[in-house]
Amino acid sequence: MRHPRVPRSAAGDHEESSRFIYAVAVVSSPLAPVLVLNVQRDFQCRHSGACCAFGGHIPIEPATHALVADGIRAGHLRSPGPAGDATHDAWMDTSHPPAGAAGVLQTRADGACVFFDADAGRLCAIQRALGHDALPSACQQFPRVSLIDDRGAHVTFSHYCPTVAAMLLGNAGKAAEIVTLAGADAEARRRVEGFDARAAVPPFLRPEVAFDLPAYDAWERGIVRALGRPGRDPDATLAAIAGAAEDLRGWRPARGPLVADVERVLRATVEPAGAHGDASHGPPGYTAMARLFDDVAASVPEGLPRSVCPPDWASADAACVAGAWSRLAEPVGRFLAAKAFASSMAWQGRGVRTQVMAVAAARAVLRIETARRAELASRVCDAAMLVEAARAADLLLEHVSDRQALISRWAGVEALSSTAFLASLGLEDHS
């Protein structure tokens, strides 16, 4: 069942505006085209085991629970409990099941799922014994993060997966852009599950005024293309995108079709921005970046690992990151392009500022995690360090943070002055 979103009064409660309900949808590829970033389309699982050992809660659906329980009873799958204990308590926690789940898989003291077999190819015992279709849905989908709307199924990938994170450094010089998969592509034939926005009002441009779908499509493609362009400064590009969003928020019917206005602001502000050496943005806004990191960390529900922003990260950044950041522009831009693509935040927020804020927060988390690693290593950051920072960033951004809580926390940005909003993004020092 899908619950279309409807515009609310500008005078409405910000908290109430965050309570739109979207069901998880299952979409088979014949129903809709599948869109991905071209720099992620060749993903193949390399069995790193990261998805099985991150310490989070893995929900298991009732039908999947029945398959696993039957497999244990039939002797096809050994229960991971003491001495092969086959009771639910040995492998599933049913005390507070998420909506639609029978429970969550138990974890060991090190955070790994009880069915993770690190000594036998770093594989899942359920998958080995009962097949891929017997896995919980979350395991089948990882590391995919999907959004389904009336344009198709949009599939991006979490950089918490070491294989995906390493792809930030591949295809050097290749521009990142949104592509539609051919029907024969293996990814296009997969079952897609994710945030379902079909038949919903498109993302809001500003409170009470929504994009039409062609205009939003042009905006999303434009900002992804700009962020993912080699040889550009992603920080300057993101600053230009923020400025373009401010211009676009002023759209009125008298300015002509919205899609034409989107193309105008992209052409005038975003496309020219971001060339190396562009001094249009100032030094990092450390205070604002730390605040964005704290916003994301504060949204993490109780019981899940919560990152803490290092108190002296700005000093580490100035010493070990700031001078090297431009050399990492291509993987940073790709990371941000992946955050701008298939963003449920754009659909849940009350305006385009929320989408820009989400990308700026992703940049802040990535940079702070890079500074954390540079300080620990006592050396200037490099590409390998950035890859590990991207993994930590997406563990927080994609797997443990609560997006609804973030939407509620950021609801007030739509009422800020333009100057205050731009200052909140951490893209330059406004102090």
Tell me what the pLDDT averaged over the chain comes to.
85
Q: What is the pLDDT of residue 17?
A: 30
Domain's final residue, options 119, 141, 163: 141
Checking if the pLDDT of 22 tops 50, the result is no
- pLDDT value, residue 280: 44
Domain co-membership, 61 together with 154: no
Among 111, 141, 171, identify where a domain stops: 141
Of 33-37, 103-107, 226-230, least confident by mean pLDDT is 103-107
How many CA atoms are closer than 13 Å to the CA of 314, on its beta-carbon side?
13
For residues 111 and 147, membership in a common domain is answered with no
Same domain, 132 and 153: no
- Within-domain flag for 2: no
pLDDT tens digits, 318-346: 999 999 999 999 999 999 999 999 999 99
Q: Are residues 126 and 262 in the same domain?
A: no
Q: Are residues 151 and 268 in the same domain?
A: yes
Residue 9 resides in a domain: no
pLDDT at residue 43, rounded to an integer:
87
Angle at 389 between CA 331 and CA 358, to 5 degrees: 75
- Tell me, yes or no, whether 103 and 218 share the same domain: no
What is the span of the domain harbouring residue 409? Answer: 14-27+33-43+143-423
Average pLDDT over residues 397-404: 92
In a domain, 4, yes or no: no
Q: What is the pLDDT of residues 178-218, one digit of tens each?
A: 999 988 787 887 888 889 999 999 999 999 999 999 999 99
**How many Å separate Cα 176 from the centre of its chain?**
16
The answer to the question of residue 243 being in a domain is yes
Quick one: pLDDT band at residue 31, thresholds 50, 70, 90?
low
Q: Say yes or no: 272 and 188 in one domain.
A: yes
pLDDT value at residue 329: 96
The confidence band for 85, taking pLDDT boundaries of 50, 70 and 90, is low
401 shares a domain with 273:
yes
Asked if the model's pLDDT at residue 83 lies above 80, the reply is no
What is the predicted pLDDT for the residue at 153?
94
Angle in degrees, 0-180, between the axes of helices 313-320 and 286-298, rounded to the nearest 10: 130
Q: Are residues 243 and 360 in the same domain?
A: yes
**Confidence band, pLDDT 50/70/90 cuts, at residue 55:** low
Band (81; pLDDT cuts 50, 70, 90): low
Question: What's the pLDDT at 19?
Answer: 28
- The answer to which of 1-10, 68-77, 191-200, 203-212 has the lowest mean pLDDT is 1-10
Q: How confident is the model at residue 95 (pLDDT cuts 50, 70, 90)?
A: confident
User: CA dihedral defined by 391, 353, 2, 161, rounded to 10 degrees?
Assistant: -10
Q: Which of 141, 168, 201 is the last residue of a domain?
A: 141
**How far lies 249's CA from each of 211, 213, 217, in Å?**
10, 16, 16
Same domain, 182 and 311: yes
377 assigned to some structural domain: yes
- Both tokens assigned to 168: 């930030």
Residue 149 and residue 134 share a domain: no
**Does any domain span residue 431?**
no
Total structural domains within the chain: 2
Tokens representing 271? 């496309």
For residue 121, pLDDT beyond 70: no
Tokens 């943070």 sit on residue: 401
**Least-confidence region, from 112-126, 219-233, 262-276, 313-327:** 112-126
Assess whether pLDDT exceeds 80 at residue 51: no
* Helical spans, DSSP H, in 189-229: 213-227
Rounded to whole angstroms, how far apart are CA atoms 397 and 412?
Answer: 20
Judgement on whether residues 313 and 365 belong to the same structural domain of the protein: yes
Residue 136 has pLDDT above 50, yes or no: yes
pLDDT above 70: percentage of residues in the chain: 86
**pLDDT by residue (tens digit) across 352-369?**
999 999 999 999 999 999
Is 192 part of a structural domain of the chain? yes
Reply yes or no on whether the pLDDT at 424 is more than 80. yes
Alpha-carbon span 174 to 331, nearest angstrom: 11
Reported as a pLDDT band with limits 50, 70 and 90, residue 223 is very high
